[in-house]
Structure 1
Amino acid sequence: MNDSQVVLTRVDGPVGWIRLNRPEALNALNADLVPQLDAALTRFEQDPAIRVLVITGTGRAFCAGGDLNSFDPEEKDTVHVFLERAAETLEHIPSIQKPVIAALNGVTAAGGLEIAMACDLVIAARSVRIGDGHANFGLLPGAGGAVRLARAVGPARAKYLSFTGQLFPADFFLSWGLVNEVVDDDELDQRVQELAETIAAKSPIVLAGAKQLIDESFDQPLEAGLRAERIAMYAHMQTQDMREGLAAFAEKRTPHYTGQ
């Protein structure tokens, strides 16, 4: 890791860790952090040795949202450029064909919640508090805090979070399906690494295909989604990974997938 950066990266086996590193500002997003986050995503996205990405934070927060101290309402062009760049980075996350896990180590609010929702899986430490704080500062969400939130938890719950601006315990979101697992604070990194390694052992083609089919199913009628699934399966039957999976099953051994 390079401690001079506001985004730190490390590789642990097939897992690429991205750590937001502005602990004094609760890892709030600013003009320095956003492009470094995007660059880290691109680096791991393009590295064939990395099968799973993890985003987490340093200190007491995962990410508390945008850095309001860097916003000057009078400099509208500057703010607009930052918000567009932030939105593009958050759109980058779900476009990555590899699984992306959010490891929530601390406060997750506003833009931090938007980052978490852009990931495929969310694992939270037990002490974490989560919510949408935009309304507390006279702000509207601009990177999924309304649209993704409604799809993740339903309109009524999304409105409750948006209107109140309150933070709630991670267990609260476990029952809503926004969080996949809640673990003891001192077990977060270990559990996420274990989960990521389990996922990384699967075929990259299967992971990418399943991610695409699941994500696109929300924008398609049922029949169209089922048709797309069948087409994808027919194409997948030509891959080496499928042959390897079936051969490993027949030979009672661990499969070794190459992504081909």
Structure 2
Amino acid sequence: MSAVEIHAKGRELRVTLNRPERRNAINADVLEGLAAAAARAAEPDIRVVVLEGSGSAFCAGADLGAAGHDGLPGPSEAMLQESDRTFSAWEAIPVPVVAAVHGAAIAGGLELLLCCDIVVASEAARFADAHARFGLLPGAGGSYRLPRRVGQSSARLLLYTGEEIDAAEAYRIGLVDMLVHADELVERVGRLAGTIASRSPLVLREMKRLSGEAVALPVEAGLQSAHEAILRHRSSEDYAEGLQSFIERREPRFTGR
């Protein structure tokens, strides 16, 4: 049994954390599986990625019992570097990534969510950084990505206390983008992924790149980057198809060319 299941269905790549007996805790096998999934997600036939967890939790964080090969407790330098590479690869996936959260997303599980574009959670989901409760520091980018996601004040509250918040509070502070009933999670995520997958892959990739640049570039540079992308896109087949479908009042048939 693989620690991370990877299934492609048409234009959608579904990635499932598959250690339910350990609440999908992250170990070397999970990192290896996530790295393989990130590489698969970059292939041109994929337009959207869905990340989910099996069993009762989304991800309970790092499997600390499996970490530390240098004689010290907790993750070693080598594992921290591997985590950084893997999580950064997920953040760099060129197409939209949707996380479906049905249970706990704790510590490293929360940090993994921060590498996704859209978080859809059931009302039963719960979230925590948790590191401060045990005298630990976030090891997979949480102290950097969490303030960028929810703002400095909300991030500091989560980081300093380590306390758990429910899905409603996570939605209020912007950690969760869509909040749904537990029995609707699969259907709503499937519908969202289908909608995204129907869009031009050229547009999806450019929009992800441009929106990522928005938090790093000055206004003038960001606008210039957007203008350059538009001018490149005007010569594509998808651009012509989109305009033609609008004129003909039909659904477009995008090919990614």
| Number of the residue aligned with 1:252 | 249
1:131 aligned residue (104, 128, 141)? 128
Residue matched to 1:148 = 145
Pairwise CA distance, 1:209: 0.4
Query: Is 1:50 aligned to residue 8 of structure 2?
Result: no
Query: What is the aligned partner in structure 2 of residue 122 from structure 1?
Result: 119
The SS at the match of 2:256 is: coil
Aligned positions, number: 256
The CA distance in 2 between the partners of 1:73 and 1:13, in whole Å, is 41
Partner of 1:32: 29
| Partner-residue secondary structure (3-state), 1:61 | coil
Q: Distance in 1 between matches of 2:40 and 2:145?
A: 26
Aligned to 1:61: 57
Q: TM-score, length-normalised on structure 1? A: 0.94
SS in 2 for 1:186: helix
Using the TM superposition, give the Cα deviation of residue 72 of structure 1 relative to its aligned residue in structure 2, in angstroms.
3.5
Quick check: 1:15–1:193 contact (8 Å CA) kept in 2? no
**Which residue is equivalent to 2:88?**
91
Q: Which amino acid aligns with 2:37?
A: A
* 1:74, distance to aligned residue in structure 2 (A): 4.5
Of residues 2, 5, 8, the one that matches 1:8 is: 5
Task: Report the alpha carbon displacement of residue 37 of structure 1 after superposing the two structures with TM.
Answer: 1.5
**SS in structure 2 at match of 1:140:** coil
Q: Deviations over 1:21-57 (max 9, x none)?
A: 11111111001111011112212322x3321111110
1:65-88 Cα shifts (integer Å, max 9, x gaps): 111111337535972211211111
CA RMSD in angstroms, aligned pairs only? 1.6
Q: Which residue is equivalent to 2:179?
A: 182
Matching residue within 192, 211, 214 for 1:214: 211
Q: What is the deviation of 1:202?
A: 0.5
Distance 2:105 2:202 in 1: 31
For residue 178 of structure 1, report the CA deviation from its aligned partner.
1.6
Please give the TM-score of this superposition, normalised by the length of structure 2.
0.95
Residue 71 of structure 2 corresponds to residue 75 of structure 1:
yes
Aligned to 2:222: 225
Structure 1 segments of 4+ aligned residues over 6 angstroms from their partners: none
Output the amino acid matched with 1:117. L
Question: Per the alignment, in what secondary structure is the counterpart of residue 32 of structure 1?
Answer: helix
Q: Secondary structure at the match of 1:214?
A: helix
Structure 2, unpaired ranges of 5+: none
